[in-house]
A = this chain, B = another copy of it.
Amino acid sequence: MANITKKVSWSSRGDESGAAGEETPLLNGSEQSRPLRQMSSGSTVFQIGRLSTVDLEEEITTEEQDSARGRPKEIPHNEKLLSLKFESLDYDNIENQLFLEEERRMSFMAFRCLEISRWVICGLIGFLTGLIACFIDIMVEQLAGLKYRLIKENIVKFTEAGGLSISLLLWAALNSFCVMFGAIIVAFFEPIAAGSGIPQIKCFLNGVKIPRVVRLKTLVVKVVGVIFSVVGGLAVGKEGPMIHSGAVLAAGVSQGRSTSLKKDFKIFEYFRRDTEKRDFVSAGAAAGVSAAFGAPVGGVLFSLEEGASFWNQMLTWRIFFASMISTFTLNFFLSIYENKPGDLSNPGLINFGRFESEAMEYNLYEIPLFIAMGAIGGGLGAFFNFLNYWLTIFRIRYVHRPCLQVIEAMLVAAVNATVAFILIYFSTDCQPLGPDQSEEYPLQLFCADGEFNAMATTFFNTPEKSVRSLFHNPTGTYNSLTLGLFTVTYFFLACWTYGLAVSAGVFIPSLLIGAAWGRLCGILLASTTSTASMWADPGKYALIGAAAQLGGIVRMTLSLTVIMMEATGNVTYGLPIMLVLMTAKIVGDYFQEGLYDLHIKLGSVPFLHGEAPATSHWLTAREVMSSPVTCLNRIEKVGTIVDTLSNTSTNHNGFPVVVQVSGDDEPAKLCGLILRSQLIVLLKHKVFVELARSRLTQRKLQLKDFRDAYPRFPPIQSIHVSQDERECMMDLTEFMNPTPYTVPQDTSLPRVFKLFRALGLRHLVVVDDDNRVVGLVTRKDLARYHVGKHGLEELLLAQT
């Protein structure tokens, strides 16, 4: 694959001064390339090379981002690339003296109070997520209703008089206008709010700090953006963004303050660290899933699947609580909105409706059919991802200016309306209006009185309602041609839409495509034999098709099965859905990765999978680690510290602290680990020991100082250290983590991986037999290895 320039859409905003095709060959990772041992299985192994930097990043802070905005950051895009600009979250507590002293001071009651406040926060997260879901739902329904009624009246007016092109124009203009607004706020104000946010949340829960992903501004843009995208008639859903919204809410509520609003409530200060924050973000993501699909258990499993490294029973129980409160809140407020208070029939934003009739029962001999549909879904999903992959590459190259992005979004909206209009116009599939009036906006067009255009039910509606129609409308509501045409057009529209600079999800379009071809399968089956028409209920096949298509695109496993089970409210469908999702995943994985993983890879994010690659036993910590490591002495000169931190070529984030035991000739032994962020706080508060004076002058720093600075630590450049101060010493004993996790050099990669992943580490020190530091393993050192077509492959590390 050719190296093409990639705009880092996740972390830097669009900027107009950047030329599109400017290729900067920053692949300076070819140094230090060294031969690797060949595997005995004979598969070829190649190593492109690597940098010796440890945990380099840019953009730690807003200030830095601002200063960098002058030129667009572009990294040479290559699938085999891992960006060094992403910081890691630290799921391991920094158990330094300050922390231990605080913990030891705390009584049992204090711990109990903390536990109670965790529950309160989770309840709040669930409640607020439910409210936001409710807000989105009501806004979309109102605005979309307004739009469709307007267009419908217009169409009715012009059907007889002729001149339907005016209706088309109106439709396209309304769509474009809505989408324009949605795209502008995303492209110009907060590009990270684009898309569903699921890849970003996956990364966050995996332990990668994606800049600005859990900020209040992102939430606002996300929520407003998704309303306008859905109302704008794009092939998108409002479910994915809920997960992101829940996560942002959780990050905000749990910290008891908003840095954007400069408001500190002085509560929940204990939770101001990565460990606790990540736990709450899990709860928020789960609450989002729960509100989106009415699937509280699915939400918990989503969070666990994506985020959990270490299973914690109380945490899971709290996550479940947040999920429950979220779906209940949504349900309750929607029931009030619908004037049926207490009728809790809307547990989620999407509602599949009840699958309970006799015709919906499946037989054992249908299971092979389902599995075949799963294979089709996997194939189609892979094709979808393949197209979207190249489209994304194209966008990275040519459509990266905000104004271009807005124009593209408007174009898609207009094309959507046009295609829909043409299909509806030429459709001859007229269906009688049922007595139950399940269609909200039936379009008569050229049908006879008392009939409506079937194609219009799929296009002339919010996608959620179209899905329900495909699942539940009685046999014969759609003819095969309608469904076939709809599948093909919607497939390409949805594929084009995903990746636009709008806030929107891919779940519902996938379900809709799948439901359409699934229903088509059901109709075709029923027409083959007379017995098949007895059991081949089109609604049932629509459900299976939807599962297959969604599974083929996103490739989620357990959580998706449970989400689908909960959304259908029918446990007996569990097995077929599971088999379908498994088949779709196996078939899809054969061709192409899942959509989210693909976008994570395109972002060059160092994502850690659940297990080390299968054939990586022949690698050891010695080969994996970064070395040499910059170590600090336990009592270190301030000047050295400042210089180390300022060294932009080796922008390390964690420093092993060593101590000289006996004499200078003996090598120093590991005695702790300290983070860049801690050193910054120490420098900022001038915690120096002047050699001339007594040691007592070292200012007593408290945990509170670190918590106040969290999470936006200033860059080293903003801290002024005078020449006199440079000569002072700094005693790190109190602040360093005195018991970092270590591994010997001979530890195999899977073993290192397991320790790293299970404990959610950020730095793992590699020591020799004498406890001397020989290297440091960080996320990138592990994420580099993956199983490719030629056996175990290594990704290239690249500085931005």
Interface residue ranges, A against B (CB under 8 Å): 39-43, 93, 95, 100, 103-108, 110-112, 294-297, 300-301, 304-305, 308-314, 316-317, 320-321, 324-325, 327-328, 331-332, 342-345, 347, 361, 363-364, 557-558, 561-562, 565-566, 569-572, 574-575, 578, 582, 610-611, 614-615, 617-618, 661, 669, 671, 738-739, 741-744, 746-748, 751, 754-755, 758-759, 767, 769-771, 787, 791
For A361, give its contact among B342, B571, B738 (CB under 8 Å): B342
A100-B748, A106-B41, A344-B361 given as contacts; is B755 within 8 A of A759 (CB)? yes
In the complex, the answer to whether A41 meets B108 with C-beta atoms within 8 Å is yes
How far is B119's CA from A578's CA once the two chains are assembled, in angstroms?
A: 14
A106-B615, A320-B561, A743-B739 given as contacts; is B578 within 8 A of A310 (CB)? no
For A611, give its contact among B43, B312, B566 (CB under 8 Å): B312
Give the shortest distance, in Å, between A29 (CB) and chain B (any CB).
Answer: 25
Chain B residue numbers with a CB within 8 Å of A791 are 108
How far is B347's CA from A770's CA once the two chains are assembled, in angstroms?
A: 59
List of 6 A-B pairs having minimum Cβ-Cβ separation, nearest first: A111-B614, A103-B617, A41-B107, A739-B747, A308-B311, A313-B610
How far is B41's CA from A105's CA once the two chains are assembled, in angstroms?
A: 6
Chain B residue numbers with a CB within 8 Å of A562 are 297
How far is B614's CA from A159's CA once the two chains are assembled, in angstroms?
A: 73
How far is B403's CA from A483's CA once the two chains are assembled, in angstroms?
A: 72
Give the shortest distance, in Å, between A683 (CB) and chain B (any CB).
Answer: 26
In the complex, the answer to whether B95 meets A751 with C-beta atoms within 8 Å is yes
Chain B residue numbers with a CB within 8 Å of A112 are 614
Chain B residue numbers with a CB within 8 Å of A103 are 617
How far is B750's CA from A739's CA once the two chains are assembled, in angstroms?
A: 12
In the complex, the answer to whether B343 meets A104 with C-beta atoms within 8 Å is no
Residue on B nearest A768 in the bound complex, by CB: B771
In the complex, the answer to whether B746 meets A578 with C-beta atoms within 8 Å is no
Chain B residue numbers with a CB within 8 Å of A328 are 575
Residue on B nearest A621 in the bound complex, by CB: B739
For A770, give its contact among B327, B615, B743, B771 (CB under 8 Å): B771
Chain B residue numbers with a CB within 8 Å of A754 are 310, 759
How far is B615's CA from A615's CA once the two chains are assembled, in angstroms?
A: 43
Chain B residue numbers with a CB within 8 Å of A331 are 572
How far is B325's CA from A100's CA once the two chains are assembled, in angstroms?
A: 48
How far is B100's CA from A671's CA once the two chains are assembled, in angstroms?
A: 31
Give the shortest distance, in Å, between A773 (CB) and chain B (any CB).
Answer: 13
Give the shortest distance, in Å, between A789 (CB) and chain B (any CB).
Answer: 10
Q: What is the count of identical protomers in the complex? A: 2
How far is B571's CA from A255's CA once the two chains are assembled, in angstroms?
A: 31
For A787, give its contact among B108, B344, B561, B742 (CB under 8 Å): B108
Residue on B nearest A792 in the bound complex, by CB: B108
Counting chain B CB atoms within 10 Å of each CB, the highest count among A320, A617, A759 belongs to A617
In the complex, the answer to whether A313 meets B572 with C-beta atoms within 8 Å is no
Chain B residue numbers with a CB within 8 Å of A312 are 610-611
For A364, give its contact among B40, B320, B332 (CB under 8 Å): B332
How far is B326's CA from A578's CA once the two chains are assembled, in angstroms?
A: 13
A108-B615, A744-B739 given as contacts; is B316 within 8 A of A558 (CB)? yes
For A617, give its contact among B100, B746, B751 (CB under 8 Å): B100
Give the shortest distance, in Å, between A131 (CB) and chain B (any CB).
Answer: 16
In the complex, the answer to whether B111 meets A296 with C-beta atoms within 8 Å is no
A111-B614, A575-B328, A614-B111 given as contacts; is B316 within 8 A of A343 (CB)? no
A104-B39, A561-B320, A578-B321 given as contacts; is B739 within 8 A of A751 (CB)? yes
In the complex, the answer to whether A313 meets B769 with C-beta atoms within 8 Å is no
In the complex, the answer to whether B104 meets A572 with C-beta atoms within 8 Å is no
Residue on B nearest A358 in the bound complex, by CB: B343
Residue on B nearest A577 in the bound complex, by CB: B324
Give the shortest distance, in Å, between A696 (CB) and chain B (any CB).
Answer: 23
In the complex, the answer to whether A661 meets B769 with C-beta atoms within 8 Å is yes
17 A/B residue pairs, CB under 8 Å, sorted by A: A43-B108, A95-B751, A103-B617, A104-B618, A108-B614, A111-B614, A111-B615, A295-B571, A300-B558, A313-B558, A317-B557, A321-B578, A566-B571, A738-B744, A739-B743, A739-B744, A739-B746
Counting chain B CB atoms within 10 Å of each CB, the highest count among A570, A742, A771 belongs to A771
How far is B108's CA from A787's CA once the two chains are assembled, in angstroms?
A: 9
Residue on B nearest A344 in the bound complex, by CB: B572
A43-B107, A771-B770 given as contacts; is B297 within 8 A of A305 (CB)? no
Give the shortest distance, in Å, between A359 (CB) and chain B (any CB).
Answer: 13
Give the shortest distance, in Å, between A9 (CB) and chain B (any CB).
Answer: 27
Give the shortest distance, in Å, between A471 (CB) and chain B (any CB).
Answer: 17
Chain B residue numbers with a CB within 8 Å of A43 are 107-108
Chain B residue numbers with a CB within 8 Å of A744 are 738-739
